[in-house]
Structure 1
Amino acid sequence: MKQEQPNNPLHGIKLADILEFLVEKYGWDGLASRINVRCFTSNPSIKSSLKFLRQTSWAKEKVEQLYLRSI
């Protein structure tokens, strides 16, 4: 049974969807200027960025915060 999470605006949104939205909105260069991590600056791709973000909680939090400010 699924639990409702009314205080979590990211509930049900996949990290891949967040990243694709941000890349569409800002492009890789714009994303790299807002969040300075190597996966956005050096040969960026959705796949490599997702791998990094899933392993690095501080970077994932920055991406999620940028998403929330952008919608």
Structure 2
Amino acid sequence: MTDKKPNDHLHGITLEMILTQLVEHYGWDTMGRIIDIRCFHNFPSIKSSLQFLRKTPWARSKVERLYLRYKRETARIK
């Protein structure tokens, strides 16, 4: 028996990978407008954002949803 959910599109993708790809694509300013959390506005960094997102489920959920939307959009372009 496996723990993997059949429709888990984030399986094997770390939060750091997600955040890095989103920052490369959108940049901190745009991410801060899309998801209004302080760690994207005040001295943003991957390290501080990871610390916040790991402790804050609602914010992590928003970042994961943005990532899934980004992946769907980029898949359509190809």
Q: TM-score range by the shorter chain?
A: over 0.9
Distance 1:11 1:31 in 2: 23
Aligned residues: 71
How many percent identity over aligned positions? 58
Unaligned runs of 5+ in 1: none
2:26 corresponding residue in structure 1:
26
RMSD after superposition: 1.3
Q: TM-score, normalised by structure 1?
A: 0.94
2:14 corresponding residue in structure 1:
14
Distance 2:57 2:3 in 1: 23
Q: Which runs of 4+ in 1 moved over 2 A?
A: 1-6
Unaligned runs of 5+ in 2: 72-78
- Which structure: larger Rg? 2
Question: Where do 1:1-71 residues align within 5 Å?
Answer: 3-71=3-71
Judge which range, 5-14 or 37-46, deviates more: 5-14
